[in-house]
Amino acid sequence: MGQLRYPAPDTRRTAHGLTVHTWEHQQPLSGPIILIHGFASNTLFNWVKTGWLDPLMETGRSVISVDLPGHGASRDVDPTGLSMDEVLTDLHRLTSEMGPHTAVHGYSLGSRVAWQFAHAHPGSVAHLVIGGSPVTAEAYHVDPAQARAWAAGGSEPADELTRGYITVAAMTPGQNLPHVVELRLALGADLIPPEETVPSVPTLVVAGGNDEIAAGSEQMAQWVRQAGQPARFVELPGRNHVNALTSRDYKGAVTDFLRS
């Protein structure tokens, strides 16, 4: 099979503003895999430029990646007032179209979306992959007024946690910064502690050994096992929250899991 290219052959918009990019496998061996990027990223930078499409397609699955509202091909969508339930509703409609044996892989903020989705709709998820996942609420601390002022062209936030996290948004080219900030505020307000939304589906949890944002995420695999489902944690030595995505060990762990 030839190398997959971006933009995808098939791209469409959901009811609540997710842009869905689809690369259809000509002879699929199983259900598709749905990819959910992290905060201030998108399909192109989270999954395409880091080399994920071809390894995933080689597992015999179609590859479907969503751009969350305000990000990537959905950067024109204003996420103000968006709820997590609305995002999960669109994902559920998408998986319902795909049929059984769908896998879901989320990274960073996308991992928490995937986690809550698998908890809410376990029958829609055959395999769950969680990468670089924050566990504590501290990782989502943002001062809304300071974040919005900065996105509108004001000074950097005085609040250290807000400054350290929100200013990451400016690193990805082509960002609609006010929309990126609004999505963070909208979804951050709806995130439920992961121990309260443990999905009952086979799960792979992956984190870089130097990833402070995902510190403690091995506990997520333990929670899934306690819920009666198989789960594994893989640590990537020397990798941080950004360069974990380019790891061959990460890709190998995921493709082995999808084939299991």
Residue 116 main-chain phi, psi, to 5 deg: -70, -35
Domain that holds residue 204: 10-137+187-259
Long-range CB contact pairs, 54-57, < 8 A, 24+: 54/1, 54/3, 54/4, 55/251, 55/254, 55/255, 56/254, 56/255, 56/258, 57/1, 57/4, 57/23, 57/25
* CB environment 65-89: b (16+ within 10 A), e (fewer): bbbbbbbbbbbebebeebebebbbb
pLDDT value of residue 158: 95
Mean pLDDT by 10 residues, the chain (260 residues): 86 98 96 97 98 97 98 98 98 93 97 98 97 89 93 92 84 94 94 96 98 97 98 98 97 97
pLDDT at 199: 98
In a domain, 56, yes or no: yes
Q: Is residue 173 part of a domain?
A: no
Residue 105 is predicted with a pLDDT of 99
Helix (H) or strand (E) holding 88: helix 84-98
**For residue range 161-212, what is the model confidence (pLDDT) as tens digits?**
899 877 788 889 999 999 999 999 999 999 999 999 999 999 999 999 999 9
- In angstroms, rounded to a whole number, what is the distance separating the alpha carbons of residues 108 and 184? 12
Q: Would 155 be classed as within a structural domain? A: no
* Predicted pLDDT of residue 1: 47
Number of domains in the chain: 1
Please report whether residue 147 resides in a domain: no
Domain assignment present for residue 117? The answer is yes
3 state SS of 231: strand
CATH number at residue 31: 3.40.50.1820
Residue 170 lies in a domain: no
- Give the model's pLDDT for residue 164: 84
pLDDT of residue 2: 56
- The total of other beta-carbon atoms located within 10 Å of residue 153's CB is 8
- Element containing residue 257 per DSSP (H, E): helix 248-259
What is the predicted pLDDT for the residue at 206?
99
Residue 74 lies in a domain: yes
pLDDT score of 235: 98
